[in-house]
């Protein structure tokens, strides 16, 4: 992430004007940087002309020593997530992007030998230059275990601090998380949207006549798939006896709510003894299953649910229950890959995870902790992987009840910080609009940064206190119940559904039909007006005076 660029005086002697502009343009697509540099050069020539000149075909790559000096400059103007400066892996990724962008725009080529030299310098030399701040480290990799899925799904339905503009969003997050665990898909494979035509649903019967739904999901947005309209990659699954793990149950609810499947027909199917494929209505084949929904519950079937909603919900779930708010679908992908490794061949695992290069899995899709019980192997004993499961997973960071916001006293302390006070002084002295606007934005960004640091310190302190209390007195459940969530009073359907999701036993067929009515009500009701159960309008009229009610 490039911050505001403050060009060193020596940079003009290192780069030609065009070369520096082209580097900046490709690395950060904003006109602010180019205009600032143009102004610093006393507006020599036209800004647009200089910009066009930098991108013209035939422009050559900078010399190796210029590239190295630029990456020194780049890392000094950037902030890292694991330290004050970006790590070597991040710089290598940015260098790869720069090379591809420069080549695309100018048709220039950087030789393989020069590419290797720059990459080797970034990885092996730059981290050891005095004062560089660059480290050749990586973020620790952990796996997402079944216990984490269980906790997240229960919290999704029982936590009262999760904010959804419509209950359909809660259903969709639940459904997508199950599909990630089923397929091990990359983030873009599912969050870019799944259409009804991409899922085939089939009803089977066993020898006793008991029903079982199975499905096949066709992934189209797959890495390396250049023809998603005509080429897809399938993964099969079945329904699960426990409701919160049953992705097919959610699929059926969406289909009924979206009129992809007629409700009456589905009830007849359940009560009958037939089998075979279930066809979606033709006019919804191209509609998205997880759809964009606004505050009024209005659906746009032509647009998928925003990926940011899924990301935000997962962050909220982790923020209050884990000592880290960062969650990645690669955690799921690694864990699924590990389990597939124990049950299937290398080829079958690669086919399911859609990983063409078999060698990549062993290099990039393993946790930072060995999967072996070494001492048991040495002693010729039966392995016990309890410790492996714990330290490979994220359960080691689990502690419900962690704060997600700083206290008012912390917020006041931030505003009294010396850096913020200095911004206040500069704002009082500023006279022109441009300076005031820039200082205001810088001040606001500083406040956000300091509040984030304050929250991390507060969370760390509370984590230590809660862990000590847990060691001394045991774990105290913070699960919400019907009395604690005020929404259950005006949305009894939500309370009944939350109870069903928290139930650890399979539901009977009668119980399934009963909970289906509550879940369909949550999906289809706009929830723009809330009524207590005894005051719910009857056929659009007040139950007491029979006057028509405007919903």
d(CA 442, CA 158): 39
Sketch the domain layout of the chain as residue ranges.
23-128, 146-288+333-396, 408-475, 484-550
Q: Which residue has the higher pLDDT, 376 or 9?
A: 376
* pLDDT score, position 6: 41
Q: Does residue 224 have a pLDDT over 80?
A: no
- The mean pLDDT value for 422-450 works out to 91
- The mean pLDDT value for 267-290 works out to 90
Q: Does residue 33 have a pLDDT over 60?
A: no
Tokens of 268: 């007849």
Tokens of 360: 């990549």
d(CA 455, CA 404): 8
Q: Which residue has the higher pLDDT, 14 or 458?
A: 458
330-384 residue pLDDT tens: 889 888 888 888 888 887 777 788 766 655 555 555 667 778 887 788 777 888 8
Reference 126, options 69, 84, 78; nearest CA is: 69
The residues with which 38 forms a beta bridge, in sequence order, are none
Reference 515, options 270, 253, 297; nearest CA is: 253
Mean pLDDT rounded to a whole number for the chain: 82
Q: Does residue 329 have a pLDDT over 90?
A: no
Tokens of 259: 């009129």
- The mean pLDDT value for 489-509 works out to 88
In sequence order, what are the residues at sequence separation of 6 or more whose Cβ sits closer than 8 angstroms to the Cβ of residue 193?
A: 221, 288, 290, 303, 304, 305
Burial of 126 (0-12, 13-18, 19+ CB in 10 A): buried
Q: Which residue has the higher pLDDT, 207 or 14?
A: 207
The pTM for the full model equals 0.77
Question: Contact at 8 Å (CB) between 313 and 156?
Answer: yes
């Amino acid at each position: 992430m490039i911050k505001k660029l403050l060009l060193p005086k020596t940079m003009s002697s290192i780069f030609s004007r065009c070369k520096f502009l082209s580097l900046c343009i490709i690395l950060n697509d904003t006109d602010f940087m180019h205009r600032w540099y143009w102004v610093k050069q006393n507006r020599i020539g036209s800004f647009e002309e200089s910009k066009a000149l930098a991108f013209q075909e035939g422009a050559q790559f900078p010399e190796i020593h210029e590239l190295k000096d630029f990456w020194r400059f780049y890392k000094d103007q950037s902030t890292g997530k694991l330290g004050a400066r970006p790590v070597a892996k991040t710089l290598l990724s940015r260098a790869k992007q720069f090379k591809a962008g420069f080549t695309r725009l100018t048709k220039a080529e950087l030789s393989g030998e020069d590419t290797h030299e720059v990459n080797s310098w970034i990885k092996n030399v730059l981290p050891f230059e005095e004062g560089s701040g660059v480290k050749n480290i990586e973020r620790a990799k952990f796996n997402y275990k079944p216990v984490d899925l269980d906790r997240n799904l229960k919290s999704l339905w029982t936590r009262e601090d999760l904010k959804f503009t419509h209950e359909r969003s809660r259903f969709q997050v639940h459904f997508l998380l199950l599909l990630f665990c089923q397929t091990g898909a990359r983030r873009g494979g599912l969050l870019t949207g799944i259409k009804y035509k991409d899922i085939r649903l089939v009803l089977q019967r066993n020898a006793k006549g008991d029903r079982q739904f199975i499905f096949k999901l066709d992934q189209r947005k797959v890495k390396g798939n250049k023809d998603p309209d005509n080429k897809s990659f399938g993964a099969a699954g079945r329904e699960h006896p426990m409701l919160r793990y049953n992705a097919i149950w959610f699929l059926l609810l969406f289909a009924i709510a979206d009129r992809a499947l007629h409700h009456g027909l589905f009830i007849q199917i359940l009560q009958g003894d037939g089998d075979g494929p279930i066809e979606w209505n033709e006019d919804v084949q191209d509609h998205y299953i997880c759809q964009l929904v606004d505050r009024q519950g209005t659906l746009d079937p032509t647009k998928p649910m925003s990926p940011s909603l899924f990301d935000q919900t997962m962050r909220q779930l982790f923020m209050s229950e884990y000592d880290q708010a960062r969650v990645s679908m690669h955690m799921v992908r690694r864990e699924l890959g590990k389990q597939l490794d124990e049950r299937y061949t290398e080829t079958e695992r690669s086919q399911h995870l859609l990983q063409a290069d078999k060698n990549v899995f062993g290099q990039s899709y393993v946790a930072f902790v060995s999967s072996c019980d070494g001492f048991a192997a040495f002693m010729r004993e039966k392995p016990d992987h309890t410790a492996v499961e714990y330290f490979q997973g994220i359960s080691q960071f689990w502690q419900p009840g962690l704060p997600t916001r700083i206290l008012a006293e912390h917020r006041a302390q931030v505003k009294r910080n010396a850096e913020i006070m200095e911004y206040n002084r500069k704002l009082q002295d500023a006279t022109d609009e441009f300076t005031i606007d820039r200082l205001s934005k810088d001040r606001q960004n500083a406040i956000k940064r300091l509040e984030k640091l304050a929250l991390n310190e507060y969370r760390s302190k509370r984590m230590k206190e809660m862990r000590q209390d847990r060691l001394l007195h045991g774990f105290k459940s913070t699960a919400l119940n019907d009395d604690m969530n005020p929404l259950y009073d005006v949305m009894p359907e939500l309370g009944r559904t939350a109870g069903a999701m928290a139930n650890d036993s399979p539901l009977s067929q009668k119980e399934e039909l009963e909970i289906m009515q509550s879940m369909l009500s949550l999906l289809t009701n706009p929830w723009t007006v809330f009524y207590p159960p005894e005051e719910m309008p009857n056929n659009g009229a007040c139950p007491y005076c029979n006057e028509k009610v405007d919903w």
